[in-house]
Each structure stands twice: as C-alpha cells, then as structure tokens.
A and B are shown apart, each in its own frame.
Chain A
Amino acid sequence: MADPLHQAASVLKNWARRTSPWAVHYNSGSCNGCDIEILATFTPRYDVERLGIKLQGSPRHADLLIVTGAVTRQSRERLLRIYEQMPEPKHVVAVGSGAICGGVFRGCYNCLGGVDQVVPVDAYVPGCPPRPQAIIDGLVKLLRGARNSADPPAGDKGSGSGDGAGL
C-alpha cells in the first residue's frame, strides 16, 4: 500500500483541502443572529479568508457546510439535498445553540431539533449566537482535525477535537 507516489499525492491533496476549504452556508431555521455573525466572520475585521476559507454559492463546489438554526420541517429536505450535492470529503459545522439542539426553539411544533438529527455534524460551535472568534475557533479545530483520507468512511468523521490527526 506504501506506493510513494500515491502517498505524496495524498499528502498534497490533503494539504490543498485543508488550506483552501470552500464553504456553503445554509440557514435551516435560524433567527438570523448566527447568520450575521457568520457573515461578519468573512468581513475585514475577522476575515477567515486568511485561512483560505471562502464563502461561495454552490454546494457542488463546497467542502464545508455551515448550518445555522434549529432544523424546521420545511428545511429538512433542502438541508439533506444540499448535503448530498456536496462532493466528498465534506464536513458539517453546526453554528449556534439552535443548530446544536434546537436551542430556545426546542419543542416548537415546526422544529425537528439540531442539525445532527438530519446530517452528520463534525464540529459544534456553541453560543446564542457564538461570537465570530468562536466560529473561527470551531473552523480551525475542524481543519486541524480533518483526517487524511480521500474517502472518509461514513459515520467516522473527524471529531473536531483538534487532535491533529492527519497533519
């Protein structure tokens, strides 16, 4: 298995993925609080583009799915579709209390709960809403923890704990 050429290509691919992850943002039923903080994270003061992270439109070009808000009944299918349209390897970041467990909207008739009820989540960023610094912290931890694999097995995603695996 130790094909040196294959290994070198793998290291190169992983480096490229880690240093230029493209993100797509979806609001699955948030109050907007997290969304404006995510947008702030991409603007000059916080500027995550320093880390190579770029916000762009199509899920088909994205490596990172940033989800905010408790998942509503109407949003569920759309969230799944966006997730499925993303190419592997892909990572999901749940930003805010709503996206983690439903937050203040837990128990509302149209809310299904957290994002992990619908798609597997790699990193959770707590806060209602989290500050931009917290969002950056979550993204950095996720990128550090991103495994060196071209094809991660289902259900065995990077935990976002920042153990540096694969670096």
Chain B
Amino acid sequence: MTVTEDALAKGVELLKPWTEETNVPEKGRTDVILRPENLLAAVDVLHREPWGHLTSITGLDLGVDAGEIEVLYHFRRQAAVLGLRVRTPRDAASVASIWDILPSASFMEREMSEMLGVDVVGMPPHGRLFLADDWPEGAYPLRKDFSPEEAAQQRPAEDRPGDAAEKPQRFIIPIGPQHPALKEPGHFEFCVDGEIITSASARLGYAHRGIEKATEARTWVQDLYLLERVCGICSHIHAMTYCQGVEKLAGIEVPPRARAIRTLMAELERVHSHMLWLGVGAHEAGFDTLFMYAWRDRETVMDLLESLSGNRVNYSANLLGGVKFDVGDGQIKAVLDGADILEKRLHHYLDVATTDESFLIRTQGIGTMTQQQAEVLGTVGPTARASGVTRDLRLDAPYAAYPDFPVKPVVASGGDLLARFVVRIEELFESLRVVRALVQNLPEGDLAVRVPTKIPEGETVSCSEAPRGELYYYIESGGADKPERIKVRTPTLANWGAVLSTVVGCQLADVPMVLAGIDPCFSCNDRMVRLRTESSGRRLWSWEELRRYGIEYYRCKTSAT
C-alpha cells in the first residue's frame, strides 16, 4: 500500500462508527457519507488524530426536485483527500458548525451559509462576509433556482439587526476599503486598547463578483477565460488547476511538453508574485526604496512572461488539453539570462531583509504565529511554511511536471514577519532552479490534445500550489457542455483566520505589515468582516466624553498596578 492509500484507510477506519457509506470517486480520494447528526463526532475524531487539515467546505444544491443540499468537508493529508458528505433538506437546510473544533472553518462556513442558505448552527454571531450589505434576505446565489434579475430588483426593507449589539463601548479603528495601506478593497475593524489591538474582524466582498455562479452559465472553454480572471496576480495557476480538473474528468492525458510549459509558467508566475509582494511588504514598512528596487527588478520576469506568452498579465497559456504556445531556443536563452539577473538581485534582497536594522525592527517578532497555531488555523503556502509547517502540494501531491522536476521544501521556524520574508525569497531560488531545469530539459512532443466539448459526468477535486498556498477546485460535471458546479477555495481564504488572530496584541502601526504578511489577495478571495450600521453598537464619542473616558481609563490602570 502506498502512503496515500494508508492514510485513506486510516481515515476510513477512524470514521467507521458513523459511516453510512463509503465511495472512492477517484484515485487518492475517499468520500464518507454521514448522517448530519454525526458530523461533529466525525470531525472531532479526525482533528484529534490528527488526520490532515481541512481544505475546504463545499455546498452543492442538488436541485429543486431532489430537495436536498449536500455539504462536503474535504480534508487533506499530503496527497490523500478525505471527504465527509452530509445531506440536509433544502427547505430547512442546516448543519452543525465545526468552528469549535476547527477555527479555520469559520470563514468557509460563513461563505457556504451565505451562498447556499444553509443555517450553520453554533457559529459565533457574525455579519455578512461576501454578499453586499443591500443584498436581499433569502436570496442565495448558488442555489439552482436563484434568479439574478430578481435579486437585482429587490432592495432590503430596512437595516438588518446589527451583529455587534452585544459589544458596546469599544474603540474601533476602521481600515478600508479604500486605504493607503491596502492596494485592494477589504474592510477591517480593529478594536484597540490604546495602541494595542484587542480584536479584529473583516468584511470582504468588495471584489466579490459571483464567478462561481457565472461558471454554470458558460461553457467549459469560456470558463477557462473567466477563471483565469479570478485573480490577475496568480491567473495562470487558476486556469491550470481548472484545466487539470477538467482533463481528469475527461480522462485525458496531457502531453509532457505541455505539462512542462505549464509548470514553467507557474514558477515564473511565482517569481513575479513574490517579488510583487516583497515590494508591497517593504512599502507597508515605509521602506519605499526597497519597494521601487523590487518592482524594477520584477520587470525582468514580466519581460520573460511576455516573451513567452505575449501578455504581461493573464498569460492565457492554458487550453483544455494542453498549452497554446511552444518555447523556442531564443526564449530559452532569454529565460536563462533573466534567471541569472534575478538570482543575483534576490541574494541582495535577502541580505537587505535579514540585515537592515530598521527593517528588522519592523519584522522581527511581529505577528508571530507558532507552528501549532499554523496547524490549527489551517494556514497554507508560505504563511504556513514560515511557521515550520511543511505544506507544499508540489511535494505532497506532485502534479504537472513536478514529478520529473521536483522542488525542495523551503521552511523557516520563526513564524514572524521576518520568517515570511525569508521563506518567500528563498522559495524563489528554488523556483529559479526549477525554471532553469525545465527550459534545459524540455520534453519533446505535442502541445495539446483534443478535449470533447461535453465533459463526461463526474466530480473531481483539483488542487495545486499557488504562490499563496494550496488552491482548491471542486469541479462537477453533469455530462453537458457546461459545468454543474465549480467551487474555488483560494489560499487567502484559508489564511485569513491566521492574520486576524496574529494581529491581536500587535501595535496598531504594525497592522498593515501583518495584513500584508500573508500576501492577501482580495480578488482571489472575494469571489469576506461587515460594515456595521449605526444601529449596531458603534458609538460616536463627543470630545468631552472621550476626555473623561481617557482620564477614567488611566486612573483604573494606575490603581490596578
């Protein structure tokens, strides 16, 4: 038995007391069907073992006729994916919240609840995460009978009751959605005690466009272009993960040369994405010189991406069944030369990030996340690896050309911002090594094979290591020329829990750095913290009240010590 089979067998064994039925939908995956009342016990036993981490929660509307909603909880242990499936009636949909056991589930549960109208019992009080404040009650976009026209016409009758009514008298600093520290729209509210953050919440959804629903109305090929635009920074990996999933469903083997070119683009994309982050991270620290230098040098990799694909962003390299372009000798030379320049510059940046005193003051020991926290909060990608959690799908479940061109794990143990800088930069040396190996040993052969317009019925989970971590696609086909359901779980969603908990206890001035530390990508994510309305516990302080509160506060503080 392989390690994966072992892991799955172990999982099935653990879940035996509550199992109704077991299915094996594809290699490396096992689904366990449970009764809804046994969900908590099952999740608890997996968590105690511990058997891997929660990858995603996917809700499926089985349609009006079936009258049921199915909720899937996918756990991953390296290459093994274990799915827990529960069904609940459509007209009174509810499942128990696993938030108590796995805090990382909270954003996923909120998303699923908003999109499918499933009541998640036992979640802490919360507001909306993705849908707009003026979105009508009772309209659930991912239900099959949802009509966008109706939702567009409906306006809410009045303000919904606030979710913060039980938290009076807090001093809240709102940040975003338009804020110099954020390059993208998200709204955060930080409760502060003096300069120290005591709690944090987020309201996302400013860039929520409704892509998952839109995929159901477009053909498999049209979806490729749509999904590439889930995110402009990591566009290639989205398209690639989608293609790999569809190809699996169609039972198609992609030629080795196409796999190598996909991997080449993915690694170059990682270089551009991490260098972009290095600049933005430095900018948040007030180190604009490093920002400008990093972005200047990033143009080297942008030129490479452009010379290979014709585009600087949204490379459109993928086709269902392969890739669109070949790589010639001139391009290979350009890639090798570019890699040399980048490597030299990256050594310099690593040196700056680890030795510049004023920069170290902003990164060392800031926003620290221990290995245990990183595990419990379900973090992925460089954020997890900076806390000593070796989680990298390129190693754990190699896809595309990674079986032939393996990457070495890059892990740091610090868990602070400094470690996140070091991990990302060192990861790039590894990426450049793989890039060189790829262009020097490109396999010969075709670039693409034909894929039918109608994809055979079935469902699959397709995952890959995006620059920000594990990217998860759940693709279901009903045998038509359009998908039945596509669920995307982006790495940023998995990392939000981490950032919101590590920020507690930080100085307010460190917030932009800590937020940037996970390299958040709102566009990816928004496909989540709510703007509180006046009725909901926000209080306007008069100057006199504030002054009196201040005097009172410090009097209490001095008498306490």
Q: Which residues of A contact B (CB under 8 A)?
A: 24-37, 39-40, 43-45, 56-59, 69-70, 72-75, 78, 82, 103-105, 107-111, 128-129, 131
Contact = CB atoms under 8 A, between A and B. Distances in A.
Interface string B222-255: 0001100111110100000000000000000000
Interface of B: 131-135, 141, 146, 148, 151-152, 177-180, 183-185, 205-211, 213-214, 217, 225-226, 229-233, 235, 276, 279, 291-293, 295-296, 298-299, 302, 312-314, 521-524, 526
A37 B206 contact: no
Contacts of B148: 107-109
Q: What DSSP secondary structure best describes chain B's contact surface?
A: loop
Contacts, number: 146
A39 B185 CA distance: 15
A37 B313 contact: yes
A74 to B, nearest CB: 4
Given A104-B229, A109-B141, A35 B314 contact: no
Contacts of A29: 185, 206-209, 526
Nearest to B229: A31
A25 B217 CA distance: 32
A58 B151 CA distance: 33
Contact of A107 (B133, B185, B208, B217): B217
Nearest to A105: B209
B142 to A, nearest CB: 10
A110 B152 CA distance: 8
A111 B206 contact: no
Given A110-B210, A129-B314, A73 B132 contact: yes
B523 A108 contact: no
Nearest to B212: A108
Q: What DSSP secondary structure best describes chain A's contact surface?
A: loop
Given A59-B178, A73-B131, 19 more contacts: A27-B184, A27-B523, A29-B209, A32-B184, A32-B233, A33-B235, A35-B184, A37-B312, A44-B293, A45-B299, A72-B205, A73-B132, A78-B206, A105-B211, A105-B226, A108-B211, A109-B146, A128-B314, A129-B232
The 5 closest A-B pairs by CB, nearest first: A33-B232, A57-B180, A73-B132, A43-B295, A109-B148
A27 B209 contact: no
A109 B295 contact: no
A110 B296 contact: no
Given A33-B232, A33-B313, A104-B225, A75 B185 contact: yes
Contacts of A34: 232
A64 to B, nearest CB: 14
Contact of B523 (A30, A39, A103): A30
11 contacts: A27-B207, A32-B521, A33-B235, A36-B233, A44-B295, A73-B132, A104-B225, A108-B148, A109-B214, A110-B210, A129-B314
A82 B185 CA distance: 13
A108 B313 contact: no
B197 to A, nearest CB: 21
A33 B238 CA distance: 13
A25 B276 CA distance: 17
Contacts of B210: 105, 108-111
Nearest to B226: A104
Contact of A33 (B208, B295, B314): B314
Contacts of B521: 32
B312 A30 contact: no
B486 to A, nearest CB: 13
A89 B530 CA distance: 33
The residue among B146, B185, B226 with the most chain A CB atoms within 10 A of its own CB is: B185
Contact of B132 (A26, A36, A37, A74): A74
